[in-house]
Amino acid sequence: MLTHYWNAFLDIIYPPKCPACKTPVQEQGAWCRACLAKILSVRQINKSEHHLTALDSCRVVCEYTGGLKRIIHDMKFRQQLKYGIYLRWLIQKNINIEDFRQIDYVMPIPLHTERLRERGYNQAEAIFKDWALEGKMPWRADILERTRHTIPQWELKFAERKANIKGAFVIRQPEMVKDKHIIIVDDIITTGITLDECARVLKKTGAASVHGLTVASGAR
Ligand SMILES: [Zn+2]
């Protein structure tokens, strides 16, 4: 009830607007129909095209294009944590939580502690944690850990990316992973190498299945 009044109050102070073009919209976090038409592309990533060998599947909601590009970029590199609401809305409206009834955990691609300190938050957590909890899926950010500081993948040539990420992740609580069905989430999938490496490590530790879910799919 309190949340309802608080939201109504926020709508008066900050009328909801599309983050890309500022057109008034129905609710906080929403995108307008025109901007949505430019970015929306709900689909499964083609595993063989992306050379994904460990991930069982990977779902994306949008193309990394138009207004979405700036929102994702600014959330990651310009401290715009508040943009998380627009990315979460895209997931909430386009991913059916009922499809994930078999899932034991949702976990973000971890950041190295140094990067986490710089940024102040993990963008994947800011986007997906509330979505997972609303769907009654346990959120676990304490199992997968990034132990090595890696160069951002987009700064590297395709051939260098695999070597850059290999061995960067470890499992903190192996007993928690055995026979579990897991979703790993991130803001964007580009080559898929990072997600696939996380899946490889989880599977090696005994995970039954590992699925990816990201807001956007970007060009290589
Ligand atoms: Zn718009």
Q: What are 143-168's pLDDT values in tens digits?
A: 999 988 777 777 778 778 878 888 88
> Tell me: the pLDDT tens digits for 103-131?
999 999 999 988 899 999 999 999 999 99
d(CA 187, CA 129): 12
Ligand 1: centre distance to CA 171 (Å): 41
d(CA 83, CA 86): 6
- CA-based nearest residue to 27, from 4, 51, 55, 56: 4
Question: What pTM did the predictor assign?
Answer: 0.92
φ and ψ at 145, to 5 degrees? -130, 145
Ligand 1: centre distance to CA 35 (Å): 4
Query: What pLDDT band is residue 197 in, cutting at 50, 70 and 90?
Result: very high
Ligand 1: centre distance to CA 181 (Å): 36
Ligand 1: centre distance to CA 164 (Å): 37
Ligand 1: centre distance to CA 159 (Å): 37
Give the pair of three-digit tokens for residue 151: 């160069």
DSSP-derived 3-state class of residue 156: coil
